Structure 1
């Protein structure tokens, strides 16, 4: 199949993903057609298949890309040695990373149900890897007497849910700066584990 005039895989491929991300976040995966994505990108619908086999693959690539970016960013950060400092660092890192990607965060939670079982399993495994990093911090803190948490897994899930919830209400330029929000949330997380 010939490439659409003016298209370039290094440019059009990312534009397809950006358009799909935006449309899935605005309208929901099920409501968006490949034709709508193509129109948004400015290519013919058939041209999309040069960049993705189907809509399911596109959704999976978006969710996997988000999780890969999250895990890579977490690995690139230098983490302090003690559990309390690690937990503060995790709190601030999670909020900062996710506030920069509101659409990716939204579809990462809202569109999981639309993944095939095999694709869901891959994303679930990546999410568990991220959750395990926080749970390890909590476990070390509990083992050393710094934290008092009866169940590290439940505490992990509760903290992540609370931190991710910032995306639903925070707006840049609002009453509180991002740093102030991070500080308030760190205080709530610290109180929840001590």
Structure 2
């Protein structure tokens, strides 16, 4: 099949992904058709299959790429102090996710729509990210600065709280992102410190 005049895979491919991300976040994966994605991009529905085998592959790629980008961006800690590491993690998580609300929404809300094999891979990547925070909490408990009964539960609770910022924070709101990071760090610190 000939490519549409003016179509370029290095341009159209990313546009397909951006449209799918936007539509999945707005309407939910199950409610979005390949035809809607094609319409958003301005190509025929059949042309999408030049860029993705199917809608499931597109969802998986969006989620996997988000998690890989997240894992690649986690800052290397230049301190052994668990309190400083925890503060850096809190601030990083809020800043990173703030800039990607659609990707965050999909990464958390569309897990149920992944095929079992894809689900396992996304859970593996999520587990790697969660393990970074869990290690900080365990290390802090080990040296007596954190009081957490179950580091895994504390990890999941902190991540859920921090991720929630993407649902309500707006740059034009009364607080700056830095103000929000300060307040969330204060809440997390009070929740886990001895």
TM-score bin, normalised by smaller chain: over 0.9
TM-aligned CA distance change 1:79 to 1:117, over 3 Å: farther
Matched, 1:64 2:55: no
Greater Cα shift, 78-87 or 102-111: 78-87
CA distance, structure 2, for counterparts of residue 43 and residue 79 of structure 1: 48
Q: Give the match's secondary structure for 1:88.
A: helix
CA offset digits 1:59-110 (Å, max 9, x no partner): 0000001000000001x54443210000000000000000000000011111
Q: Which consecutive unaligned segments of at least 5 residues does structure 2 have?
A: none
- 1:3 to partner: Cα distance: 1.6
Q: Is this contact kept in 2: 1:21–1:103, CA < 8 A? A: yes
1-structure distance, mates of 2:33, 2:67: 24
1:141 aligns with 2:140: yes
Q: Report the counterpart of residue 104 of structure 2 in structure 1.
A: 105
CA contact (8 A) 1:83 1:137 kept: yes
Matched, 1:27 2:15: no
Q: Distance in 1 between matches of 2:49 and 2:108?
A: 26
DSSP-derived class of the 2:149 partner: coil
Is 1:152 paired with 2:151?
Answer: yes
**More off after superposition, 49-58 vs 166-175:** 166-175
For residues 32 and 79 of structure 1, the distance between their equivalents in structure 2, rounded to whole angstroms, comes to: 44
C-alpha RMSD of matched pairs (Å) = 0.9
Secondary structure, aligned partner of 1:87: helix
Structure 1: stretches of 5+ with no match in the other structure: none
Counterpart mapping for 1:73-152 below 5 A: 73-74=73-74, 76-152=75-151
Distance 1:93 1:193, change over 3 A: same
Q: TM-score if structure 2 supplies the norm length?
A: 0.97
Paired residue total: 193
Normalising by structure 1, report the TM-score.
Answer: 0.97
Residue of structure 2 in register with 1:43 after alignment: 43
C-alpha distance after superposition, 1:134-184 (max 9, x if no partner): 000001100011111111000000000000011111011101000000000
| Residues in 2 aligned to 1:78 and 1:100: alpha-carbon distance in whole angstroms | 22
